[in-house]
Amino acid sequence: MPSLEETFTTAIAQGKIPGTILMATNKTGSFRYSRAFGPRSLHETEEALKLDALLVFASLTKLITTIAALQLVERGKWTLDDNVFDVLPELERLPILTKMKEGALVLTKRANGITLRHLLTHSSGVGYSMTSTLIQEYHTSIGLSPTAPFPRVVDRFGCPLLFEPGSSWQYGGSVDWVGLGVARIVKTSLEEYCQQNIFGPLRITDTTFWPGRQPKLNARLASMTVRDSNVQDGLGKLLPYSGPSPGGEYVEEFGGQGAYGTLPDFLKILQSLLADDEKLLKKETTAEMFKPQLNCESQKALQETFRSSNRRRFFVGEFPEHVRYDWGLGGLLTMQDVKVNELQWRNKGCMVWSGLPNLFWFLDRKAGLCGVYGTQVLPPGDSGTAEMIAFFDKAIYELYARSKGEHE
């Protein structure tokens, strides 16, 4: 296998990928890989991307918010399996949205309750307008833009549910509702809560929902890029992104997608969970995170999603179709050992997830290894980046196995 350095340096030089940061470590820190490749911006290619570049975390935020909610569960302020309507009454009013064969949209009364466990595992029925044509049609039917950018959680994710809670699975904005619930319970902002209870204990200093309030930090923001699929060079040319700033319309913290941060910061969170050091969560809570959480109906729906190349194309990372998956509290779980030739790759119970600008992370407790891939390119599931994430993911396991062999 070619080295990571050789492979990524070549990919950058060929214009295959934009600037990229790779980081990985084991639970003791005796193994560590960290390297940045390429420029910080396509506008100013002479400035190298650094490890401490500020990135749009997007859905990497979900792990942070999940930890915040589980801390409240530990403290007896929230529960996993009671209805959340006392904290989030707006959810109680949401009906179920379906579509008749004739094409008419139908709203029916919800029968099941919604729990924190439903919200954390995307089995609540809350969807994303960007991936649900049904939500887009609903928005159009009430005179809104199909993917209207609302500045508040209750407006953006207050559309009807896509199914009865607990009866299926669809990735969506439910963790944004969780973030709002955390803020309401502790009677402060999600930002302040995370700074005091997650970032502070790990000495994380460069992660925030509001980088614009910290000019020195914001100056390190890596530029977003976009793949122009109209350029017929096999992949599409990389161009500077000129659209609206991700989350620029927010007036409150979105716990499912709103954070900005650095990869060294995020790796601290992964390593804390990997080491089970109880700086964030008790050991029994961390163990619960890595248990399969879905019932049979929801797991079946998730499995069907990841077996469909069309439906999983929005997800960042490599997901072999033959593997059984479930959802934990924080990310997707691999429910069987996965080998690549002679390399033991993901182990049963390995948790992975990602962020929209093609960020990806994994946490493999059995292997004692975690890692994160950081870049800023749209659209999600970018083909050029997907190939590089797959290479990084396997190469880190190989490097770690080799390092253990050298020290035996």
* 62 is a catalytic site residue: yes
SS3 at position 360? strand
The tokens for 33 are: 């890989």
Q: Which residue has the tokens 């403290």?
A: 75
Q: Up-side HSE of residue 1: CA atoms within 13 Å toward CB? A: 19
Phi, psi values for residue 115, rounded to 5°: -110, 165
* 171 is a catalytic site residue: yes
End-to-end CA distance of the chain: 22
Active-site entry in 171, 260, 373, 400: 171
How far apart (Å, rounded) are the C-alpha atoms in residues 289 and 264? 22
Structural contact between residues 64 and 365, judged by C-beta atoms closer than 8 angstroms = no
| Nearest partner of 97 among 88, 108, 86, 89, judged by Cα | 108
Active-site entry in 16, 27, 62, 268: 62
Which amino acid would we find at residue 232?
Q
The CA-based angle 191-196-200, given to 5 degrees, is: 110
Helix H or strand E encompassing 22: strand 20-26
Helices 61-74 and 174-186, axial angle in degrees (round to 10): 40
Structural contact between residues 269 and 372, judged by C-beta atoms closer than 8 angstroms = no
Active-site entry in 16, 27, 41, 59: 59
SS3 at position 226? strand
How far apart (Å, rounded) are the C-alpha atoms in residues 344 and 42? 37
How far apart (Å, rounded) are the C-alpha atoms in residues 194 and 68? 7
By annotation, the residues acting in catalysis are: 59, 62, 171
